[in-house]
Amino acid sequence: MQANTLAILPEISLAVLAALLILIDLRLKPERKALLPGITAAGLLAVLALTLAFARPGAAPESIWGGMLRHDTAAFVFRLIFLFGAAVTCLFTIGWKQVERRGEFFVLLVLSTLGMTLMAAAGDLIMLFLAIETASIPLYVMAGFMTADEKSTESGFKYLLFGALTSSVMVYGFSLLYGFAGTTDLYALAAAVASGDLPPLGLLGALVLVLAGFGFKVAVVPFHFWAPDVYEGAPTPVTAFLSTASKSAGFAVVVRFLLAVFPAAVLPQIIGVAALMSVLSMTLGNSAALAQRNIKRLLAYSSIAHAGYILMGVAAASLLGAASVVYYLAVYLVTNLAAFGVVIIYFNVVGSDEIKDYAGLSRRHPGLAFALLVALLSLAGVPPLGGFFAKILVFAAAVEAGLIWLAVAGVLNAILGLYYYLMVLKVVYLDRGPDEDKPLPVRRAHMAALVVCLLLVLALGTVLGPMYDWSNLAAGGLF
């Protein structure tokens, strides 16, 4: 029992943190409310430390709380990813006027993170559905948080509508799965699927319905329509959170579902479905990104493309594939947070997200320009940054699985990606702007968050061992 409780220590402490934040928000004097993001970030980092110290899983994965949750390395590593993402997001909300003094925003953020940690650990269809909704509903509100801003309202509403639709399709898929297998436990379901007694066509149909829900969370083609508008309209810190932690949570579920519950050995069609979605996402995301003028939309399409690269690891349906997904998500988290960090810092001063307004940034603030350079190059997959090794891993997984054509499609897409990242860097480094001489103040907290992210980007691209081991353990824990 005690081990069971320790295993959900992160969830317990997140719930406590959310409750505390409500109280603090009530007691804090209005002029001191600007402390809220810092307090939340500190709280999240404390939860992160607690998780690292007490909630480590054993060598063998366990089912706990009557099979509702799984206590394995996959859940553990993903928890760390979400908590880190949430903490950095909090730091970046400092100075975001409509948000930074609103206690309820941070409560929602913590609750959404709680939902994500449960998503990564869910071992039961019911639990999984509840976790996904716990993670999503706060996000709908957060995306539409700037009620005075039409785009933000539109963003929140659009996200809600698409989310509700795909959720209902997904839960229908869940009900079919229950109907076929007579169990809601994921690993009992896996055993039933592996026995081969269930009708393959029916399973495939149910799986496609379920994938609609997951596909929405991770924003892959053809469930990506919401992403550009929502990313553009939402407050940028929320966009950062959506594109990193929320996407990772979606993939945590995807890898568990597709690799552990529906092994390709039983349903070989899955590989085809995943590979097709991967190619479409990469190609569509990258080609649409070419035409963007707004940096948030560009990063939205780039995030669709990256979901495609990550799906390549899923399509490989192997241990290396699953490990590559985890590694990729960790790299993508720190890299994209850094990129959005620069966007947020720049927006706070300049008030624009248009790419053309980034002209002259390298003369105005060389450090910030360099941060954007590192982040975008890592997204493009240039060594010695993390993005390079992450891409190598997914390509390697595809090649190992014999999906050479998929790997070739991936590398050609990497070129497209490089092109539009370079176009942004061209504006930053080459074009002259009118305000080059004006100072560009950067808050210490922002700078600290940015530096941590960038160091991690570099570390993940040079010191490969530790994260690779974790990814491998996480992948092993899925089965």
Partner 1 sequence: MQFLQFLQEWPLLSIVTFLPGVAGLLILLIPATRRDTTHKAALAAGGTVFAVSLLVYLAFQPGGPRYQFEEYFAWLPQLGISYHVAVDGITAPLVLLTGIVMFTGVIISQRIEERPREFFAFLFILATGVFGVFVSLDMFALFYFYEIAVFPMYLLISIWGWKQTREYAAMKLTLYLFIGSVISLVGGLAMYFASGLGTFDMLALEGANFSPQFQILWFPFVFIGFAVLGGMFPFHNWSPDGHVAAPTAVSMFHAGVLMKLGAFAALRVGIMLLPEGAKFHLPWIIFLTLVNVVYGAYIAMVQTDFKYVIGFSSVSHMGLVVMGFASLTPDGYIGAGVQMVSHGIMTALFFAVVGMIYDQAHTREIAKLGGMAQKMPFVAFAFTIGGLVSMGMPGLSGFIAEFPIFMGVWQSDKPWIAIVAAISIVITAAYIMRLMRRVFYGEFPAEFEGHVHDVSRSEKVALGLLAFVLILIGIFPGVMVPMVESGVEHIFVLLGGL
Q: From the list 377, 452, 453, 473, which residue makes contact with partner 1 (rule: CB under 8 A)?
A: 377
Query: What sign results for the dihedral spanned by CA atoms 6, 7, 12, 17?
Result: positive
Site string for partner 1, 339-368 (x = CB under 8 A): ---------------------------x--
**Contact by Cβ (8 Å): 294, 355:** yes
Least distance (Å) between residue 338 CB and partner 1: 18
> How near is the Cβ of 469 to partner 1 at its closest, in Å?
7
Binding mask 146-175 for partner 1 (x = CB under 8 A): ------------------------------
Residue 16 or 455 with smaller CB distance to partner 1: 455
| Binding test (CB under 8 A) with partner 1, winner from 119, 388, 450, 453 | 388
Give the three-state DSSP class for 354: strand
Nearest of 83, 117, 130 to residue 252 by alpha carbon: 117
**Residue closer to partner 1, measured from CB, 354 or 469:** 469
User: 382, 442, 460, 474: which one contacts partner 1 (CB under 8 A)?
Assistant: 382
CB of 325 to partner 1, least distance (A): 16
Binding mask 285-304 for partner 1 (x = CB under 8 A): --------------------
Q: Closest separation between CB of residue 377 and partner 1, Å?
A: 7
The residue range among 145-153, 280-288, 381-389, 449-457 that interacts with partner 1, by the rule CB under 8 A, is: 381-389
**With binding defined as CB under 8 A, does residue 455 bind partner 1?**
no
Q: How far apart are CA 471 and CA 388, in angstroms?
A: 16
The answer to the question of residue 459 lying near partner 1 (CB under 8 A) is no
Structure tokens at 353: 């997200």
Comparing CB distances to partner 1, the nearer of 118 and 450 is 450
- Within 10 Å of residue 17's Cβ, how many Cβ atoms? 23
Q: Which of 349, 392, 447, 458 binds partner 1 (CB under 8 A)?
A: 392
Strand partners, 71: 62
Strand partners of residue 70: 63
Query: Mask: binding to partner 1, 393-432, rule CB under 8 A, as x and -?
Result: --xx--xx---x--xx--xx-xx--xx--x--xx--xx--
Question: In terms of CB distance, is 97 or 432 closer to partner 1?
Answer: 432
Shortest gap between Cβ of 170 and partner 1 (angstroms)?
A: 35
Residue 416 CB, shortest distance to partner 1, in Å, is 9
For residues 445 and 147, give the distance between their C-alpha atoms in angstroms, rounded to a whole number: 26
Pick from 386, 368, 378, 376: nearest CA to 449: 368
- Told to check if 447 binds partner 1 by CB under 8 A, we report no
Tell me the closest approach of the beta carbon of residue 103 to partner 1, in angstroms: 41
- Look at the chain and count its residues: 479
DSSP string, 190-257: HHHHHHT-S-HHHHHHHHHHHHHHHHHHHT-TTS-THHHHHHHHS-HHHHHHIIIIIHHHHHHHHHII
Closest to 311 in 3D by CA, of 328, 297, 287, 298: 328
Where in 37-132 does DSSP place strands (E)? 62-64, 69-71
Q: Does 225 bind partner 1 (CB under 8 A)?
A: no
In a 3-state reduction of DSSP, which class is residue 70? strand
Q: Which of 38, 67, 205, 384 binds partner 1 (CB under 8 A)?
A: 384
* Size of the residue set binding partner 1 (CB under 8 A): 30
CA 422 to chain centre: 24
**CA distances (Å), origin 189, targets 36, 198, 274, 383:** 43, 10, 20, 42
Positions that interact with partner 1 (CB under 8 A): 366, 377, 382-384, 388, 392, 395-396, 399-400, 404, 407-408, 411-412, 414-415, 418-419, 422, 425-426, 429-430, 464-465, 468-469, 472
